[in-house]
A = this chain, B = another copy of it.
Amino acid sequence: MPEQPSLRSELAAATRILASHGLIGMFGHVSVLTEDPQRYLVCPGAGARKDRCRPEDVLELDLDYEFEPGLPLELYMHSEVHRLKPHIKSLIHVHSPALVALAAMATVPADLLMLHASFWPSVMPVWDEPDLVRDRAAAQRLIGILGDEAIALLRWHGAVIVGRTLHEAVFRATLAEEHSGQLVTALSHGQPLAPVPESIDREDLYAKVLSPRTHDMHWGYASSFVTVPPGARG
């Protein structure tokens, strides 16, 4: 069964890639569903060095596994997306600066600034409960709010980004923070932005601009900047 170790290595690499982009660090986490739809892999919780994540640091859990110290505090984001939406193979939770700034705006702007970020929702789903996502019920509400979108913002907190593959989720997460940064910069001008014509369907655009081949190319590119920490097994 060589797939399992490989997925474990990929999740460790995803953790290091997200850390190298400043998307996760003290906080933030990433999961991937295994071939067994009852089980998922997730990176270690707050306090672990994400930039040094080794395959053997990755945790494999059953969807019903209960939170315990050492796991991400908001673990159920992952279990519940994998339970409710098995076609979503990966969820990433970040507290990155531009996404937090965007999440604070009373009316979250939905402008699309980069064709490459065309997974950006026309109407941004926003979680606005003033608490962390601590239990299964809260996590299920969050996944309900996310709906079929690729990203949802969490007010006073950050964002969750999902993908149909781990590669897609990682690429979207890096583009999401980049896009948000460019969006808040452009908005600081105080003048209107040029809208993508409404006749253009964002899903069509996404399919055209960001094929799975591009996700895989990005994965190879981003991976080449992060090395497996010395002494890692698995």
Instruction: State the A residues within 8 Å of B (CB).
Output: 25-27, 46-49, 69, 95, 97-98, 100-102, 104-107, 109, 111-116, 128, 130-132, 155-157, 178, 181-194, 196-197, 200, 205, 208-209, 213-214, 217-218, 220-222, 224
Interchain CB contact under 8 A, B181 and A224: no
CB-CB < 8 A to A100: which residues of B? 113-114, 182
- Cα A182 to Cα B103 in complex, Å, equals 10
Contacts of A193 in B (CB 8 A): 104-106
- Complex: how many Å from CA A182 to CA B218? 28
List of B residues within 8 angstroms of A186 by Cβ:
101-102, 104-105, 184
A213 CB contacts on chain B under 8 angstroms: 69
Known A114-B156, A191-B106; contact A130-B197, beta-carbon cutoff 8 A: yes
**B105 contacts A181, C-beta separation under 8 Å:** no
Which residues in B have their C-beta under 8 angstroms from that of A95?
114, 116
Give the shortest distance, in Å, between A224 (CB) and chain B (any CB).
6
Q: Are B101 and A218 in contact (CB under 8 A)?
A: no
Question: In the complex the two chains form, is B106's CB within 8 Å of A194's CB?
Answer: yes
A106 neighbours in B (Cβ, 8 Å) = 191-194
Cross-interface CB contact of A209 among B102, B105, B132, cutoff 8 Å: B132
Beta-carbon contact of A116 and B49 below 8 Å: no
Known contacts A106-B194, A186-B104, A188-B184; decide if A221 and B115 are in contact (CB<8 Å): no
Q: Say whether A155 contacts B194, CB under 8 Å.
A: yes
Give Cα A102 to B191, complex, Å.
11
Known contacts A47-B220, A194-B106: does B115 contact A130 (CB below 8 Å)?
Answer: yes
Point out the residues of chain B lying under 8 angstroms from A220, CB to CB. 47
Contact A156 B112 (CB under 8 A): yes
Known contacts A113-B101, A182-B100, A224-B49: A26-B130 contact under CB 8 Å: no
Tell which of A100, A113, A155, A157 has the most Cβ of chain B within 10 Å. A100
